[in-house]
Amino acid sequence: MSFSPYLFFVGTCREAMTAYQGIFGGQLDLMTAADMPDAPDGVPADAIMHAALTLGDGLLLASDDPSATEAGPKTGITVSYAASGPEDAARVFEALATDGEVQMPMGPTSWSPAFGMCIDRFGTPWMVGANPAE
């Protein structure tokens, strides 16, 4: 069994998921409304109906929400990323925090040699940390 976050955007899904692929790597697959024979009426043909960023065993899913009219920070969820080490954590945090909002600067904590929290420019909240050394 596994869980995969599914993020909703208001017209910025392609931009967000492409940015995430640039930060994390992985395989990005996008399906637009034009690709779907039964897309809802009134949805722009280039709207992302389903996006999947595959990263090893991980999967980040997303779409543009045709029912939403305004973008804002997502509430009730934070996406957590476990970096391979403090340097990777710092790199990922810096990329996600650019043009976003830092909630907790990257630094050592009692549970991690490098941990930080931010909301990226797309409104997605993130926790980025490195696992302690063995």
Please write the tens of the pLDDT for every residue from 5-20: 999 999 999 999 999 9
Share of the chain above pLDDT 90, in %: 71
Q: Where are the beta strands (DSSP E) in 1-134?
A: 6-9, 27-32, 48-55, 58-64, 79-83, 101-107, 114-119, 125-130
Confidence of residue 71 (pLDDT cuts 50, 70, 90): low
pTM for the model = 0.90
The pLDDT of residue 72 is above 70: no
Which residue type sits at 111? W
The pLDDT of residue 37: 85
**Which structural domains are found in the chain, ordered by start?**
6-64 (3.10.180.10), 79-130 (3.10.180.10)
